[in-house]
Amino acid sequence: MDTVVVASASTANVSAQVSSIPMLNGTNFKVWKDTVEIVLGCMDLDIAIRQDKPIGTEENANEAKIEKWERSNRMSVMIMKGSIPEAFRDSITEDSNAKKFLEDVQQFFAKNEKAEESNLLSKLVSMSYKRKGNIGEYIMEMSHLASKLKALKLELSEDLLVHLILISLPTHFGQFKVSYNTLKDTWSLNELISHCVQEEERLQQHKESVRLRPISIKKKRETNAVTPSQQRKTKKQNGVLTCFFCKKT
């Protein structure tokens, strides 16, 4: 009974570890590889991806080591294949050697990483703020793209990212950009977000005041205006009648 419980717990533990490996796609190879290596190490199955197969001879044959390596190799390939979508699994590699299998996968996705770097960088430098939503969210979106590039080993400095964000802001942030360029110090990303939010609020308040100003002037003019009937009534009250044609009393 105890043996069955232990075996069941062990099976559940193995299943949980294997399930922790993310499904491989075009953007998460590094995370996938790190997780695979951790899981295989915890399961004591990583010998096949760390070492070549032991060579046995008639004089010095170590069957136990060879058997352990072969089990590690077989299980490692099965576990890695299980986390690769079937649609492109065979197009990557058909190698049955775990170490070579992992190298083939890495080589396959290294090409995709270059294309991904190009796409992300192109999107980052072409972004522009369209006043749709919150400017803080817009800046965080650009920062997220920079983080993806960093994960692909293409890191942008924070100063460069700040400049890219400022360049992407529309023309009504012109004075704001000039003010930043005149500063001796540089802003961190968090400081930029704070200042941009304040500037956007100031611009919005200014826009509202400009929009409401003509309405208030028009109302004032309407209040001071006197209609013709009011003029005639006033003249009658003063005891004076005026000819509507010659305008004389």
Final residue in a domain of this structure, among 87, 119, 151 = 119
Contact 48, 99 (CB under 8 A): yes
Q: Which two tokens stand for residue 28?
A: 């998460």
| Residue 79 belongs to some domain of the structure | yes
Q: Are residues 98 and 149 in the same domain?
A: no
| Residue 188 belongs to some domain of the structure | yes
| Residue 249 belongs to some domain of the structure | no
Stated pTM of the model:
0.48
Task: Render each residue's pLDDT in the chain as its tens digit; 249 residues.
Answer: 444 333 444 667 778 888 889 998 867 888 899 999 999 999 999 999 998 888 765 555 578 888 899 999 999 999 999 888 887 777 787 888 999 999 888 888 766 667 778 888 899 999 999 876 689 999 999 999 998 888 777 888 999 999 999 999 998 898 899 989 888 888 999 999 999 999 888 888 888 877 766 554 455 555 555 555 555 544 444 555 666 556 676
Sign of CA dihedral 60, 65, 70, 76: negative
Domain of residue 210, residue span = 137-224
| Residue 125 belongs to some domain of the structure | no
Q: Are residues 75 and 155 in the same domain?
A: no
| Residue 117, C-beta contacts closer than 8 angstroms, at least 6 positions apart | 149, 152, 154
User: Considering its fold, how many domains does the chain have in total?
Assistant: 2
| Residue 236 belongs to some domain of the structure | no
| Residue 230 belongs to some domain of the structure | no
Nearest to 22 by CA among 12, 11, 14, 33: 33
Whole-angstrom Cα distance, residue 143 to residue 7? 47
